[in-house]
Amino acid sequence: MTTQDLFGETSVQPPKPSGPVTCLGMTFENDEARRAHFTEELRKKLQDPEFRKIEGFPIGSDEAILNLSDPPYYTACPNPWIADFIAEWEAQKPEQPEGNHYHREPFAADVSEGKNDPIYNAHSYHTKVPHKAIMRYILHYTQPGDIVFDGFCGTGMTGVAAQMCGNRNEVASLGYQVKQDGTILQEEIGENGKKTWTFFSRFGARRAALNDLSPAATYIAHNYNTPVNSLEFERETNRILKEVEKECAWMFQTKHSDGRLGTINYTVWSDVFVCPECANEIVFWDAAVDHDKGKVNDDFPCPHCTAQLTKRKLDRSWVTVFDKELNETIKQAKQTPVLINYSVAGKRFEKKPDDADLALQRKIDDGPIPYPFPKNRMMPGKETRRNDPMGITHVHHFYTRQNLWVIAATLAKLPSLNYAITLLPVIWTNTKLYRYRWAAGGGPLAGTLFIPSLIKDISLLKSLSDYFKKGVRKKRLLEKMTPQMIMTSSSSEMQQIPDDSVDYIFTDPPFGANLNYSELNFLWESWLKVLTNYDTEAIENDAHKKGSIEYRSIMAACFGEFYRKLKPGRWMTVEFSNTKASVWNSIQTALNEAGFIVANVSALDKKQGSFKAVTTPTAVKQDLVISAYKPNGGFEERFQKEAQTEEGVWDFVRTHLKYLPVTKRQGPLMLFVPERDPRILFDQMIAFYVRKGYPVPISSQEFQVGLAQRFIERDGMYFLPDQVAEYDRKKMTSGELKQMSMFVSDEASAIQWLRQLIKEKPQTFSDINPQFMQQLGGWSKNEAQLDLRELLNQNFLSYDGKGPVPEQIHAYLSTNWKELRNLPKDDPALVTKARDRWYVPDPNKAGDLEKLREKALLKEFEEYKEVKKKLKVFRLEAVRAGFKKAWQERDYAVIVAVADKIPNNVLEEDPKLLMWYDQAVTRMGG
């Protein structure tokens, strides 16, 4: 037997009933029996008041949660079986060869993956990372059978990526070779520039445990990560489409000029305003639109009194209507249909709505819809309440009556909510959010619930067929997926997941106020009948009384849970996309507070900017990827004994260097690895000590000297002995190292810029000054701008012509002037050329210089302590030095007091200050 599918193609035999299935050690007659058993178990669990107290428990009735769930694999609430899944997966892992100890460097390559993959586009969402990009990280950090966790899973692309690591075609599409023995090789540039294939990973699927606060997100993730019978899906959607068409076609008909019936494709609705001069109504479509040019004019005349107007000058026209669903009279901004696009015998036509069209619309508006649909008040929020001034206050107000009817009828006829995944785009797109445009680019604005003045109301009856066709194609793509564990709860408290049980974490959390997910998902979730519990949503949102402090606190709690469940010595990758330095620092601070140590930051180019990234000049064009690790247990135990001695410092550095990338590349070029810079190593060490609550037992200068004594330096970076050989070998085949470009914005970056400048080329003040002046355009408005001489005197040395020429200057001069080569360091010609040149002091001789600088900084900090008013312009390095000293002396109140005097944005955008401040507040019990 064959069936005709939605594409007019002949399908193969209908699906056979599913046979016996095994799940969590139990065998069931079929998948329906499995679902029935675990649904009843979940029903019992939902009746436990303590279970419902779990943080982030969604808002919905027991029946709504059960209808949306597919237990035990997917629950639209916390998943009671997650520990069972993890235990089973751990037991099923393939045996590893004896002595195969886990060790990975961070995946330091910049990753570029597009969004045009059909699987990526199967189900839409506000943001997501392409699964092929995530695959590279999973393949690098894990082995087949390992357990991957994502606590902000969104659409579940981490789960897709984990499975696709066992799909040869997907792995090969990333440019890797997959050998028959399961070895995955990557292409590298070998000696003499020759390309070679080297070991990268092992082929095989990984397991995924996924969580998100949003029921809409986990519902999409479930549909991405669940096998489906596409033939059954096709048959059911064919049936539903015929039934809905038979019932609702009358609402989408209009008469052509010759009397034939046409099918409406879309209707344009226009706002109606009132002229402030003559008080007559103005239909925006008629007055402001230039129909010949196909554009909306900024200025236009009133059609009644010819007064020159702009949209901003106009008041809305209002209508008072009885809302049957709310059982009350409401006032709404007036909108009227102005254009109907329709088809007759396959040809498209356009017309102005006539009396018959308007009468049909009144009939639809006045008639009852015989199916349930959401009538929720829009939740509190910036986006969800932005349309209140128009009288658009409830979910059903976002739809024309006919489209509301079609969605409700379709949902009522679905055999299960699993089929509703096809309708999610409809619920968002076929609304009053859809902007009318003559050219391409219409549709709802991403990331907002903005209702435009010209609405394109697409006939849902017509587009429903297209959505079902796409739905079948998508299901065919996902037919061979295997179920992953997916649940709905807050990542800030997940006690049901055992300690040290997860092999790797990849996550793409919300960033600051980028997107308000709970608000944007409200339309979807209202139809699904399970809503986000946004109390613990990691977001900056004034409407929810959440600022940067609350956001940082929630993220710290989430990362703390991630740290707890990650195995020691294992990795977490955090994908970051935000234009604000304060959010970047909040993420770093939250990671440090949780116990993670950042080892690398690289770029992830998703190849397609969001609306803001494309149009905003300061927007981040590439996402950043943070690689952080959880220290292994052996180091933690040793640190408890060594923390108050200098040996603890060097044990930390030694351990940390093992986790850092030996090289970074950009195409054929080798890049400087900033994490190996001595100043960044020092900052990481301080952050670790501060988080542990210990005073730092060593000064910056002592650290620099000790580093040079214990480790090997190459190009301003420090390595372990076994890493140096690899670095030297790769540098030989790559040529010169590409240094980081510097951007001067404050004293610290100015010192770093000067250090790089004069280390390469010792120069006189007159040589340095014009170059320095060119760098000052981006100087922070709150940062006290120091004179160049003061910066040089406090941080560098100048050769005064007395004694031998310093080695750094001698090396530079003898390399660049032939006549100065092979001269003794006290030769008069060499001395003359070297006099007054500034150079970077040798670490062993720079101690006195640093002490003098620190003394000056602390003197300035003492002045800040005495100031009674807010500090508008100050020396940031003085505040940093003062905070560090106060920490050593356990004078937390001083840190908090001075922090209250400096602008909040400065505190939030400086990771060092933020670290001292947060820890001081914590120690004071705040």
More confident residue, 850 or 712: 712
Helix (H) or strand (E) segment spanning residue 504: strand 502-507
pLDDT computed for residue 480 by the predictor: 80
Question: Is residue 619 scored above 60 in pLDDT?
Answer: no
User: What are the backbone dihedrals phi and psi of residue 690, each rounded to the nearest 5 degrees, phi first?
Assistant: -65, -45
pTM value? Answer: 0.86
Question: Is residue 510 scored above 70 in pLDDT?
Answer: yes
Alpha carbon 820 to its chain centroid, in Å, reads 56
pLDDT computed for residue 388 by the predictor: 97
Nearest Cα to 72, choosing from 101, 37, 21, 111?
37
Please identify which residue in the block is written with the tokens 């790559």.
Answer: 734
- Could you tell me the two tokens for 605? 């180019």
Q: At 8, is the pLDDT very low, low, confident or very high (cuts 50, 70, 90)?
A: very low
Question: Is residue 617 scored above 50 in pLDDT?
Answer: no
Peptide bond into 72 cis (omega under 30): yes
SS (H, E, C) 538-566: CCCEHHHCECHHHHHHHHHHHHHHHHHHE
Give me the mean pLDDT over the 819-836 stretch: 90
Question: Is residue 1 scored above 50 in pLDDT?
Answer: no
Question: Is residue 644 scored above 50 in pLDDT?
Answer: yes
More confident residue, 231 or 12: 231
Across the strands, what pairs with 75? Answer: 487
Give me the mean pLDDT over the 889-898 stretch: 92
pLDDT computed for residue 114 by the predictor: 61
Q: Please, are residues 430 and 465 in contact by the beta-carbon 8 Å criterion? A: no
Least confidently predicted of 321-335, 494-508, 907-921: 907-921
CA-CA distance, 93 to 79, in Å (whole number)?
A: 22
The segment with the largest mean pLDDT, out of 11-15, 552-556, 642-646, is 552-556
Q: Taking all residues of the chain, what is their mean pLDDT, rounded to a whole number?
A: 88
CA-CA distance, 183 to 176, in Å (whole number)?
A: 10
Q: At 191, is the pLDDT very low, low, confident or very high (cuts 50, 70, 90)?
A: low
Burial zone of 266 (CB within 10 Å; 0-12 exposed, 13-18 middle, 19+ buried): buried
Q: At 746, is the pLDDT very low, low, confident or very high (cuts 50, 70, 90)?
A: confident
Helix (H) or strand (E) segment spanning residue 319: strand 318-323
pLDDT computed for residue 621 by the predictor: 47
Q: At 723, is the pLDDT very low, low, confident or very high (cuts 50, 70, 90)?
A: very high
pLDDT computed for residue 193 by the predictor: 63
Q: At 99, is the pLDDT very low, low, confident or very high (cuts 50, 70, 90)?
A: low
Q: Could you say which DSSP state residue 340 is in?
A: E
Q: Please, are residues 213 and 544 in contact by the beta-carbon 8 Å criterion? A: no
**pLDDT (tens digit, 9 = 90+) per residue, 771-782?**
888 777 777 788
User: Residues near 735 by Cβ (< 8 Å), separated by ≥ 6?
Assistant: 670
Give me the mean pLDDT over the 159-175 stretch: 94
CA-CA distance, 841 to 93, in Å (whole number)?
A: 54
Least confidently predicted of 99-113, 435-449, 579-593, 633-647: 99-113
Give me the mean pLDDT over the 396-419 stretch: 93
Question: Is residue 120 scored above 80 in pLDDT?
Answer: no
Per cent of the chain over pLDDT 90 is: 56
Give me the mean pLDDT over the 316-333 stretch: 96
Question: Is residue 17 scored above 80 in pLDDT?
Answer: no
Question: Is residue 733 scored above 90 in pLDDT?
Answer: no
Question: Is residue 280 scored above 50 in pLDDT?
Answer: yes
User: Residues near 859 by Cβ (< 8 Å), separated by ≥ 6?
Assistant: none
pLDDT computed for residue 465 by the predictor: 84
